[in-house]
Amino acid sequence: LTERLQGAFKKFGSRGIVTEEDLDQALREVRMAMLEADVNFRVVREFTQRVREKALGAEVLRSLTPAQQVIDIVHQELVDMLGGEAPKLATASRPPTVIMLVGLQGSGKTTSAAKLANLLKKQRLRPLLAACDIYRPAAVDQLVTLARALDVPIHEEGTSVGPAVIAQNALEKAKRMGATHLIVDTAGRLHIDEDMMNEVAELRRLLQPEEVLFVADAMAGQDAVNAAKEFHERVGTTGLILTKMDGDARGGAALSIRAVTGVPVKFIGVGEKADALEPFYPDRLASRILGMGDLLTLIEKAKETMGEEDTEAFKEKLKKGTFDLQDFIEQLRKVRKMGPLGQLVSMLPGFNRIKMQLQVDEIDDRFFAQAEAIVLSMTPWERRHPEKIDGKRRKRIARGSGTDPAQVNQLLKQFFEARKIAKTLSTGKMPLFR
C-alpha cells in the first residue's frame, strides 16, 4: 500500500511540475489505497474528487515538492473528513452522564464498556456499569468478571428481568451512589433485526443518554458501515468506538461510518485488555489509512513508559538530529519494555522504508539483542559520535560484541537512516515520499 503510493508520487516527485495526468495517476493510487483500507467506494469517489479540485487549485509552494503537496492535501482532507480534532465525551449537566453502547454481536460492546469504565476510573471519576444484555447468561457473567477485575461497581439482575427494568434500576442506583457515569452494555445480534432495534430505541428513550456510542469492529468493513447507518437512523448515535484496531484493519471503516452517519469516532480499541482503549486522533488514523506509520501514537505510548520529560527531550533530539547511539539503545530498551514488538515497530515512522532500503527482513528480538551488544561495546564517546567510528574502531567493537565489522557497519547505517527519517518526520509534515 505504502509502496504503491510511494511509487506513484515518486514518479512526478522528481519533476518540477505536476500535470493533470500525473495527478490523476497519483489519485488512482490513493483510490486503491483507500479501497484496500475498507473505505466505501462512494466515499472514496467523493474524496478523490475533492482532493483533485484542491490540488488543481493549489498554488505551488516552494518548500514542498509537488508530490508532498498532493500528499499533504490528501492527508489534510482525510483529517477533515474524520472530524479534525479529537472529540470529547459529552457530560451531563447533572450526573450521572449516561453512556449507552450499542452495536452488533461480537463488535466489542462488553469489552469496551469495561475499558471505558477503566479509563474513567483512572481519571478519578466514578463509573457504574449496567449489564443489560440478558439474552445470554454468559454476557452478564462476562461484564461481572471484567468489573470485578477492575474493581468497578456493576448493576446486574441476571437474565430474568427485561433490560428496561435493569436500566432503570441501574440509573436509580447510579444517582444514589453518586456515580459520575453510568455505562450501559446492551445486547447485540449478528444482524440488524427489529427486536434489537426496538429494544435499543426503548432504552434510549428511558435513559436519555448523553452518549450513544456505536461499537464497530474495524475488521468488519462494509457490514459495520451498514449497521452503523441503520443504528444511526433508527436509534440515533452520538459517536463511534472502533474496536480491534490492533489487527490488520487500517481503519477505513471509520471514514465510511463518519461519512455515512456524520458522527465522530471517539475511541479506538487496540487490544483485548482493559487498558487497550485510546482516545481517537483523526490525524493519526489519516496517517494509518495512508499507511505512513504512526509516530504520534508511538510517542504517546513512549510517554507512558518514559515519563513526560524524557519524551520531550527525545522529540527535541529527533528534531535537531542530535539523537545519538546512546539514545538509540535506550529507546530500544524502552521499546522492548513496551510490549508486543511487532505492534510498536510497525508504528515507527518510515519503518517500511528502512526495511526496504536496508534489507532487514524482520526487526525482531534478535535484531535488538545484536544492536544492543554492539552499542554496549562502544565507548561513551563513540556512542555520542557515531559518525566518527572508523575502521579500526569498528573492528574493536565487533570483537567486543561477538559480531563482525560488517555487522557493526550495518547497524551504523541503519541508525543513520533511522535518525534521518525520524528527523524529517518529526519536523516536516510528510516527507516520506521524497
Least spacing, CB of residue 185 vs ligand GDP, in Å: 7
112 binds Mg ion (CB under 5 A): no
Least spacing, CB of residue 111 vs Mg ion, in Å: 8
Question: Could you tell me how many residues of this chain bind ligand GDP (CB under 6 A)?
Answer: 18
Strand partners, 159: 157
Beta carbons of 177 and 128 less than 8 angstroms apart: yes
Which cell numbers hold the place of 130?
A: 449496567
Q: Which is nearer to ligand GDP, 68 or 107 (CB)?
A: 107
Stretch that binds Mg ion, among 32-40, 135-143, 277-285, 425-433 (CB under 5 A): 135-143
109 binds ligand GDP (CB under 6 A): yes
238 binds ligand GDP (CB under 6 A): no
189 is in an annotated binding site: yes
Beta carbons of 179 and 96 less than 8 angstroms apart: yes
Task: Report the site for ligand GDP in 183-202 (rule: CB under 6 A).
Answer: 188
Binding partner selected for residue 271 from ligand GDP, Mg ion, none, CB under the kind-specific 5 to 8 Å limit: ligand GDP
Sheet holding 127-131, edge to edge: 154-155, 127-131, 181-185, 97-102, 211-217, 239-243, 265-269, 277-279
Return the closest-CA partner of residue 286 out of 277, 295, 278: 295
Least spacing, CB of residue 273 vs ligand GDP, in Å: 9
Site string for ligand GDP, 67-106 (x = CB under 6 A): ------------------------------------x-xx
32 is in an annotated binding site: no
My answer on whether omega of the bond before 96 falls inside 30° of 0, hence cis, is yes
Least spacing, CB of residue 100 vs ligand GDP, in Å: 13
3-state secondary structure 230-285: HHHHHCCCCEEEEECCCCCCCCHHHHHHHHHHCCCEEEEECCCCCCCEEECCHHHH
- Which 3 state secondary structure label does DSSP give 183? strand
* C-alpha separations of 228 from 238, 240, 267, 358 in Å: 11, 9, 15, 43
Binds Mg ion by CB under 5 A, chosen from 6, 69, 107, 110: 110
Return the closest-CA partner of residue 326 out of 421, 405, 415: 415
Residues annotated within a binding site: 103-110, 185-189, 243-246
- Site for Mg ion, rule CB under 5 A: 109-110, 139
Residues annotated within a binding site for GTP: 103-110, 185-189, 243-246
- Site for ligand GDP, rule CB under 6 A: 103, 105-111, 188, 215, 243-244, 246, 269-272, 276
